[in-house]
Amino acid sequence: MAAVRVAPTRAMRAMNLLRTVQYTHPPSCPCHGNPSYHQQGPSSSLVAHTKANLQRSYATPVDMSRQKEYAFEMAASSIRFGAGVTKEVGMDFKNLGSKRVCVVTDKTVRGLDAMRQVEEGLNREGIEYTVYDGCRVEPKDSSIKEAIEFAKPYAPDAFLAVGGGSVIDTAKLMNLYTCYPNASFLDFVNAPLGKGLPIEKPLLPLIAVPTTAGTGSETTGTAIFDLVASRSKTGIAHRNLKPTLGICDPLNTRTMPSAVHASSGLDVLCHSLESWTAIPYYERTPRPSNPINRPAYQGANPISDIFSLQALRSTVKYLPRAVKDPEDHEAQSQMLLAATLAGVGFGNAGVHLCHGMSYPISSQNPSAYTHPGYTVPHTIIPHGVSVAVTAPSVFRFTGASNPARHLEAAAAFGVDTSQVPLESAGEVLGEALQKFLQDLGDQPRGLKDLGFKESDVEALVEGTIPQRRVLMLAPGLSEEVGEEREVLRGLFVDSM
């Protein structure tokens, strides 16, 4: 594939050059410096700043809220991958000593072979179970609460989720609030919309059997839902929320319609790109005073990088095949593996602007849009669609924060980046993304195709501002709210 050549305006070229110079040749001032590739470790200015803090701590109090992180943690569910492994789930619960399992699914998946395999396995091992099939695709707080109220009186000693990310996320929260029966719903919800309390004890065993290849929820400690009152998505994130085991069976994704393959795969695409380009873990603030408060989303780190970059390369290669040919089982299997790899990557590094901006897009849906190929009883902008629609604009913006890393991502799309100047890194990646989405087919070209107008931009901005958990990882985004709003406003307008 030939190199993509972009012709930005003179103003854009000048701005990109200035931002690239700023980030690739940072000033010595520790307040304005920015380290380069994080595999090289913190910059010398950062080390000097840390030493200075230590030296003057005897006389001057250190602002703990501004202390940068110095460590990262890796956490992921155990994963079993292979065609046909769903039938082993009964033995898994027997090995765990479980005797009363709450099986969580939705009405569509309930009729599929994945559920038949699950029930046969549980029956074969004599495991008592009940089935909750009321999960909502793209769950709301109301649907989560209904599921919790089902689980509490049953008093299970384990959970089993069979379905896509919506089902797995619902099961995570059923598990959480069954173990914390007296908690208020907002106690664990991400701040500032909730209290963001840490989950201080292990939960019941949860086994996740994904039937889509997208969210990677079988590996992560994150659960996402619409908080209707705020007109935005939010969620709960903590390592103790992650499943005990993810059973990734490629046979279970063969029933996905082409539209679901595409949307789920676009979620994988953005998971990998955002975690690959997130700020380095050692640039995140504040440093936790106790390890239990270290967030699940920590910033890019050398381990998550391995998973994220491989997931990106696999998605670019296999997603178009999986969408175009329902009999391409190799591509489907590789996409399930890519989703799991990306889950490990972003589940520890985090995501940033595409996801932060997607939450109000999918939750507000002002024109009652329903994506073609989705058969659900309500309007829906699928999560992968809402994430990908802003991606070209987002990565044009973030390109200057780490041009080399953005060019490496562009190379994964087949772009010859050998002669691309650093100041064009964001433009080149944005153009590669735009072409990939167009070639995939049946994808909205912008927010207008989803029914949004420029008059909706302010509501979208206000729905993004509370997403602190992910916005804090966005490279180049100001912490000053006025400037942050201006950048978000521009990105939404560019995504129209």
The closest alpha carbon to 277, from 88, 90, 403, belongs to 403
Give me the percent of the chain exceeding a pLDDT of 90: 81
Residue 314 and residue 222 share a domain: no
Residue 461 and residue 347 share a domain: yes
Residue 243 and residue 279 share a domain: no
Residue 340 and residue 410 share a domain: yes
Residue 263 and residue 284 share a domain: yes
Among the three residues 253, 285, 314, which one is the final residue of a domain in this structure? 253
Residue 195 and residue 92 share a domain: yes
pLDDT recorded at residue 375: 79
More confidently predicted of 7 and 241: 241
- Say whether pLDDT at 390 is over 80: yes
Tell me, yes or no, whether 96 lies in a domain.
yes
- Enter the tokens of residue 140: 């709301």
- Say whether pLDDT at 74 is over 70: yes
- Say whether pLDDT at 232 is over 90: no
Residue 295 and residue 216 share a domain: no
Tell me, yes or no, whether 84 lies in a domain.
yes
- The domain tally of the chain equals 2
181-210 average pLDDT score: 96
Tell me, yes or no, whether 50 lies in a domain.
no
Q: Are 6 and 424 in contact (CB under 8 A)?
A: yes
Residue 219 and residue 190 share a domain: yes
Q: Give the CATH number of the domain where residue 105 resides.
A: 3.40.50.1970
Tell me, yes or no, whether 65 lies in a domain.
no
Q: What is the pTM of this model?
A: 0.87
> What average pLDDT is seen over the chain?
90
pLDDT recorded at residue 145: 98
Q: Give the CATH number of the domain where residue 346 resides.
A: 1.20.1090.10
CA distance 447 to 358: 11
Low-confidence winner among 125-134, 240-249, 372-381, 426-435 (lowest mean pLDDT): 372-381
Residue 354 and residue 227 share a domain: no
Domain that holds residue 166: 78-253
Max CA pair span of the chain: 71
CA 370 to chain centre: 22
pLDDT recorded at residue 28: 39
401-415 average pLDDT score: 97
pLDDT recorded at residue 29: 40
Tell me, yes or no, whether 63 lies in a domain.
no
